[in-house]
Amino acid sequence: MRITNGMIVTSFLSNLQTNQAKMDKYTAQLSSGRKIVRLSDDPVGVYKSLTARQRLANYEQYQRNLITARNWSEQCESTLQELSSKLTSIKSEVVNAASTGIKNDGDRQNIAVLMSELRDTVKDALNTVVGDQYIFAGYNTSNQPLTFAKDADGNDTDTILYNGLDLSNVTDVVNKTAIEKEQSQTISLEVGYSLQMDISMTAIDVVGVGDNNFFKTMNDIIGLMNSDSSTDDVAGELSGYLGKLDGAHERITSCLVKAGAMTTQIDILDERYSEDVINYNEIRSQIEDIDSAETIMDWKMAEAVYKQSLSAGARVIMPTLLDFLQ
């Protein structure tokens, strides 16, 4: 077959275009720092990269949720530890007041004042907030859950309400149903694929209901200390409340164990997600990011081939009549 000059020029221009496209590809990679500049560069790689990015976005959101969960659990644990210490002090004061032959009526009234203050500190502790949210309030995170009931004149009484409910009154069916509904309210966060974690507990779980309600027990103890009953009668009845205080302490301990277990689970998930984020970042980097040294070497080779093509073209493309006419 006869090879014409036109065929040589056509072949040359095709090869020159190919070499220029290679050099343009490596130039784009070096300037962007990415292997995949256009979707057509590697459709399979684009799919894998998007999958890795989606997984990373999910894990990063889970980690943000874990930060919120950790803040709640740590504050909850700290509050419960404080309450446990308060219960120890309260029990000690009750034992002190129940000592016959040592404490008189005036001493018990002074202890009653102290007990009132300790009761109020427990109430304030259960009104603790993380950010601007009350963590022992169920769904009612924007309003203070524990408040004093008001009398007809609008003055505070000794009765402490939880979200407007008297926890000591379980004889009223309507009130009891409302308490059960409030107790079932827990706030959950998604901390994994189809994995929900309860990050809160209600004050009802901590203080109990009915005759075992902590605030009712405290009010009964305070009222007994301020009563006109005989010293022996007061001492005997106070000793009877030690069992209820032990029960209150057990509830707090149970809640404390739950908060500690929550913190442990958060630590395990956080460690796992940190490793997963590292792994998927490596996968994404292998697909998307260039090896600078290798890409520079490829670019230099493409540049050399392109320059050689231009040099060859200067010899291949023969002058025409038009060149002489110009």
Each residue of 198-240: pLDDT tens digit?
A: 888 999 999 999 888 999 999 988 888 887 766 667 777 888 8
How many residues can be counted in the chain? 326
Spell out the domain ranges in the chain: 77-272
The DSSP-derived string for 187-205 is -EEEEETTEEEE----HHH
DSSP-H helix ranges across the chain: 5-32, 43-97, 105-126, 173-183, 203-207, 214-225, 231-240, 242-288, 292-316, 321-325
Spans in the chain with pLDDT lower than 50 = none
Q: What is the DSSP letter of 212?
A: G
Whole-structure pTM value: 0.75
Residue 30: what pLDDT? 81
Residue 1: what pLDDT? 66
Residue 146: what pLDDT? 92
One CATH from 3.20.20.450, 3.30.565.10, 1.20.1330.10, 1.10.10.10 for 77-272: 1.20.1330.10
Residue 249: what pLDDT? 92
Each residue of 123-132: pLDDT tens digit?
A: 999 999 998 8
Measure Cα distances from 200 to 134, 237, 250, 309 in Å: 10, 36, 19, 72
